[in-house]
Structure 1
Amino acid sequence: MTDNFDPADAALPPLADRAIVLQARADDWRDAVRLAGDALVDCGCATTEYTEAMVRMVDDHGPYIVIAPGLALAHARPGPEVRRDGLSVVTLATPVSFGHAHNDPVRVVIGLAVHAPDAHLTSVAALANVFNDSSAIQAIADATSRDQVRDILDARRPAS
């Protein structure tokens, strides 16, 4: 990353059709994170080991991935478990609690897999830009199609 980095220029990783799961059922936060990880595995972005690493991040560090009311950003450290950069979006039919004091329950889980540490930071910045508009979380939670999810993400990205 350079000193001239502008988060508005950050691009989101690819979002494959198979990586968008709408109105999924999860019994708890572990199931919700695994759904996001499984979607990354299904589209060839990560291995099952990456999914389990995402779960361990919450076990080890708490519910810090619940970054806004109703929104969790599931991820793990970049490494060999990431095959290629990618994003997943999972909406939950019934919200689940992650144990976050202010932002529970969660209806939308974003899965993030990136290979390089610099790409990880720029991807998180790009997601932060999208979700600066808090209505994006509710809009994604209510989405009824994959195209609608993509449109919501695209509409809230800053203009380049």
Structure 2
Amino acid sequence: MLQSFLEKDLVRFESLSENTWQNAIKVSCQSLEDQGIVDSEYADELIGCVNEFGPYIVIIPGVAMPHSSQGSNHINGTAINLTIFDQEVVFDEEKKAKVFFTLAAQNPEEHMENISSLSELLMEDGLVDELQKLTNIDEYQALITNY
């Protein structure tokens, strides 16, 4: 799975000029938008979901999984984008993330497949810690060989 992010040009390393979770979500959607997988309204939809339901997208310490509810009109394809920020993004006192896996899926089955695959990946011993330490694509490529 890590290799496929790289092959599909869906890995980014970013520094936030405005370190807010809203800005982080917008940045994490950019590659998906650039490739036409989502439209320009998708990030706003994700922000609206977090505003409504709270920071449910921080699935484990250090990792966020921005995704929308089923039936989004702003999704044109299925993909997962990986964005690693140079500093932690704070959602609230307890929920913080540096690694964002942003999901887009055209239907509920693909959405569940993405979540399942990502969950399996994140269970790999030590992977989350390693991802949080990465600062560039060369380090990412080296990490792929271990996982």
1:111 counterpart = 2:98: no
Q: How far apart, in 2, do the equivalents of 1:154 and 1:100 lie?
A: 35
Q: 1:86 aligns with which of 79, 103, 109?
A: 79
1:40 counterpart = 2:13: no
Would you say the 8 A contact 2:80–2:114 is kept in 1? no
TM-score (norm 1): 0.77
TM-score (norm 2): 0.83
Cα deviation, 1:138-157, whole Å, max 9, x if unaligned, reads 2222224436546756854x
Superposition RMSD in Å: 2.4
Where do 5+ consecutive residues of structure 1 fail to align?
A: 1-10
Write out aligned runs for 1:140-151 (5 A).
Answer: 140-146=131-137, 148-149=139-140
Query: What SS does the corresponding residue of 1:119 show, helix, strand or coil?
Result: helix
2:108 is aligned with what amino acid? P
Answer with 70-79 or 143-152: which moved more.
Answer: 143-152
Q: How far apart, in 1, do the equivalents of 2:105 and 2:141 lie?
A: 19
Would you say the 8 A contact 2:58–2:96 is kept in 1? no
Structure 1 segments of 4+ aligned residues over 6 angstroms from their partners? none
Where do 5+ consecutive residues of structure 2 fail to align?
A: none
Q: How far apart, in 1, do the equivalents of 2:63 and 2:93 lie?
A: 11
CA pair 56-124 structure 1, distance change in 2 beyond 3 A: same
